A = this chain, B = another copy of it.
C-alpha cells in the first residue's frame, strides 16, 4: 500500500505542491497505521471459502479498503471537529495549519474525495475478470454507501435506533463489507454471503459498542485522543443515551452541563464517567455486547464456511467485541 500510495502521491506532485500537500494529509492518516482490521478481515473472508486464497489479490483489495477507510476518517473528523486521529493531527487540522480554516477545511474535503476516487480506481484495476470483478465492485460500493448513510443518520438523526445506525456505519462497512470482499475473491456465492451476515452484523455492532466504551473509559494512550473528548464533543453513544435516560436530579444536571461542552474540566469529565459507571451505563452496554456476541456465534455455527474459517471468525468475534484497545 505504501508503494502504491507513494506512486499516487508522485502523480499529485506533478499537479502542484498545494494539491500534493492536501493528498499527503490523507495519505499520512492512512500510513499512520491503525489496526488494519478491515484488511485483515478481507483475508479472513477469503480463507473461509478457499484453503489457499490468492494473497496478491487480497492485499490489493485490503489496500483499497484501508484507503477508503482513510477517506471516511478525513470527512468524519471534519464533521465531528476531531482534531486528533491515530495519535497525530487529523487531516483538516494539518491543512488548517497550512492554509487557514476555510481553505484548510475545503482541502480536507477534497483530499477525502481524492482518496475515494483512488480507492475506487484500485478496485476497478484488480486483476479479476468479468462477473467476479462486477461483484467485487458492487460489494465495495455497498460498503461505501452503508457507511455514508450511517454517518448521515449519525449526524442528522442522533439517538434514534442507535443500533441501526451502528449496523450501517460500522457493521456493514467494518466487518460485513471486508468479509464479503474476501469471500467473493474466493468465489463465494450470494447465498453464502447472506449467511455470513448473520455473523458479521452482530459482531460489527458489538465492535462499535466496545469502541464507545473505550472512547468513554479508555486511557489516552489507547484511544489516541484526549481523555473525555467523546463527552466534550457530545457524541450520542449507546452508553451516553442510556445514562441520559436513567439519570435524575443532580446526576442529570451534571450530565447536561458536561455533555457536548467543549470547555468541560478534567474534574467534571471524571465525575461524569463515575456517574455513568454507577448508573449502570457501562454494564448495560457490556450486557448488550455479550448478547450480540452470542447471536454472532449462533450465526457462525450455521455459516457455510470451512473449519479454518470458522475458527478465524470465532477468534475475530472475540477480538472485536472484547478488545481492550
Contacts and interface: CB of A to CB of B under 8 A. Distances in A.
Given A79-B106, A148-B110, A152-B107, A16 B133 contact: no
Contact of A103 (B109, B110, B156): B156
Interface in A147-206: 148-149, 151-153, 155-157, 160, 164, 168
A118 interface: yes
16 contacts: A12-B149, A15-B168, A16-B164, A17-B157, A18-B152, A19-B152, A19-B156, A21-B156, A22-B152, A22-B156, A75-B113, A109-B109, A113-B116, A114-B149, A116-B117, A129-B130
Given A75-B110, A113-B75, A138-B124, A16 B153 contact: yes
Q: Which 9 pairs from chain A and chain B are nearest by CB?
A: A18-B156, A124-B137, A121-B141, A19-B152, A117-B144, A79-B106, A18-B157, A15-B149, A106-B155
Interface residues of A, number: 49
A107 B155 contact: yes
Nearest to A124: B137
Chain A interface mostly: helix
A110 B155 contact: yes
B149 A121 contact: no
Contacts of A103: 155-156
Given A103-B156, A107-B152, A124-B138, 7 more contacts: A12-B149, A17-B157, A75-B113, A110-B148, A113-B116, A118-B145, A124-B141
B151 A110 contact: yes
A315 interface: no
Contacts of A75: 109-110, 113
A245 interface: no
A268 interface: no
Contacts of A151: 110
Interface string A1-25: 0000000000010011111011100
Contacts of A144: 113, 117
A305 B168 CA distance: 48
B16 A148 contact: no
A134 interface: yes
A250 interface: no
A125 interface: yes
Contacts of A155: 103, 106-107, 110
Contact of A148 (B79, B114, B153, B157): B114
A100 to B, nearest CB: 10
Contacts of A223: none
A267 B112 CA distance: 40
Contacts of A149: 12, 15-16, 19, 114
A300 B151 CA distance: 47
B145 A117 contact: yes
Interface in A70-107: 75, 78-79, 99, 103, 106-107
Nearest to A80: B106
